[in-house]
Structure 1
């Protein structure tokens, strides 16, 4: 088996790459400290601690840095750096020396130490020394990798201060985020696009005078290290905005102002899907203030431009605005589509007056296709079959009459448009979305049921011969004085909205049987759970008239 050795070599290389940089040579990650593999970093608190043996240092004095796993956890990889606390985006400072060369190694990005192997570890130490002219305060940062899929990026460690230097305040002042102040006046839209960036719905609205206005503004400080946000909107429970790399909900950073009793709670979190957000520590926000008046929620807060693992405000992001209800301090699903900015923007960049819209392009295209299919093509196709038989009875080359060719073309076009329009909401939602009955959209329910009914009613063959109801047989059924086709339709219950949907669907089926040029076979539509059923009897008489009755009964 001459090919065995190359195959083993290929498998060995593939297995090796599955661990990313298991040898710790991650020099390319010195800037953002990301491991360059796997999904997004974990937003929850890490089970690790980074500590130092002294709170202050002198130039050249050694500082022992320790990384410890907590609660029986472990780690396979790590990257420790020391940076100027006043500018965490600056290059690393000082130099490291190794305490355990068999487990760690130095990197070429100066003040950085990483793992040497991908084995399990619970504790690691390294010694750091400053340069001759160190910054006034140094912040230690660490990225910890538990496995290929689970890791935490840029965990904030201890801060050490240069002896004899005045300690500089950190970027985030030690304001308590749990007790924000009360705003004395509403927000203003003055300066939008000039001194601050804004996104609002309706476009150009003023939050200080229009209570329907959903408003967001953000302003970066002079250094670009932090951003101030002002959020306002009419809501029963909360107003929020999210930052995303695309126009799809999920895997986004979210910020919420939630009505909580007589005040407002300001929160930050991460949304991995259509679930409750995973909240970040409240220390990530500061300078909070709020205001409640006439159903209007307003809040203001600050956040650092770079705060891993959240999105950096120095990158281009889409902005979402949403309002909704809350119960017991927990947010509920928003009932309207969020307002989405028309393009990406840099949050810490120059001021812009952004434009946004609620309905996405796929949903608008769904409406256009459905209106075209049912208001034009289907209607014209039915009229052609109903009233044009005697006008266009001559036959063309394919052997069919002109009215039938027109009718068939229009109905096939209606079918194609309906099929495409029916799939677009599923593409937008990225699949089937389950919901509680009280939260489900009745329009979506009616659309799905009608779509399933149409799919089940398609004939295997379609010809001009099938367009006549008179004759000895209808789909193999003897033509009697009354030929009944029973359509049992089951629904979850008999509440008023479902009864209205049943009547709408009955009318649709009967009209289709009465006016169209083909006959539907028996149908069956069963919901997963049903407590009652509706039996519909549609009678087809040999003279072409259609009668129908329906009744409700319990199973």
Structure 2
């Protein structure tokens, strides 16, 4: 009986050793690790510290079917041995999908190629011994375009391992793309022996690392960003990107400047209203939520979530980093919202992207104060590349016409009527005094520019539109009304000397000056409109204009006062205030056959005033026409 008990003990000991050996997986990662890359060590969690390992590639781009070197090792300057590992290439857009295949390993005794989801798509260790840096040859798939990253779990020992050790993103591009191969950064396994070499080097420009959402916008995703031409620089205030793989539509949206929300919408036109929107919202507790909503065209409630099913989108990722709000999600290929069927595969849509810094209430986003734009035409969501925005020609013409009207022609016309009535005496143009002829031409020009600009903006926005908390629209409409009735009142003005003439004079003066002041104030308010895209320092250009305009009025007023002092008895009737009272008796005592004193000086001031005002007008029109000039300047300067 004793030998039999001894044999049973030896058998039990052998089974224990076998179980222990199988738990440690010294011969490679177990089959269950293929997807989550966990080594299946009982009751042992991955480390949460920064991994001492890196994964680097020989290039940031690889053509379909081409080969790429991939190295896994320890951080430079910090030699740490590799006990075990599992390494795969994963799609950036669909991290659960393994792509490509490995062709060679450095040493079959230490590493091996296995098949998890596809043929030879994974490399892992062959034994638990400490290993140096390992370099593998990987081949890109021929049926995939887009971003991939090599992801690994690396174990230093049985109880110490790190998960999600990732390489920089590698773009799989078309075979005809020119690819520049770069040398992979060296990984360290042993400390450097001997003194370091001292080399003189010139500073090199550091390439800008674009956010993940921008990667693939050139050839694998459909991207649209605000403002225009922001995709290459990676500085969009708001951006939407769509990646299509089979029947799966993956959306990404991101907003900058610490937004409360960023949203994208599918629309049948480039106007807001009757659109299916998807909102990425930053909650007060710091969490990020995804909602869908329905927009209404310029009527309450403007946007409402309860009118849209919430289960048509599925949130994959979200983050708030450095003031950037980001959501990645999928949307059902076909969904029905407010009785309309949205088929992402069969229908073309205008893409809208908006962002704002406030919420109206718990269920509604606030005004799009940070970004709002739409593509210029409907697009197939499966197309790739940068989408073009809607034309801003009418918007820019509106701004240019209003600037020319109220900074230019109105300012000059009012100046002529106020200070030059007793100048160019005896000379006429079209049967009218010189000052009056030019005053009338300038004010008619102001009226035409204003009315035309107003019509243009109505066409652009499709009717009346508010601008959030900015009263630009309100002050603008009041200015247009005052401007519109001015020439009508002038046509019916009473004759000089009648009882109603003073009333007309006061009303005409009041409405004209009120329109001028409101017109300039409205232009000031336009600087703060998100859609205008004017640089903030435009305010200083406008402030300089106002300062110059006021100074010239003060100087001309003082000149008129001195001129009156040169006239004995009755002052020369040059102030419009006196004409408004209808003081014909005083006027008859004045010799109007000659120019008033200092007329030459006033003409000199007019010669200074007119070209400088023209410079201000041209400068502001250039800012409007070239907007967003601030972002263009920052891009050129590398800011």
Q: Which has the higher strand share?
A: 1
Q: Which has the higher helix share?
A: 2
TM-score of the pair, normalised by structure 2: 0.41
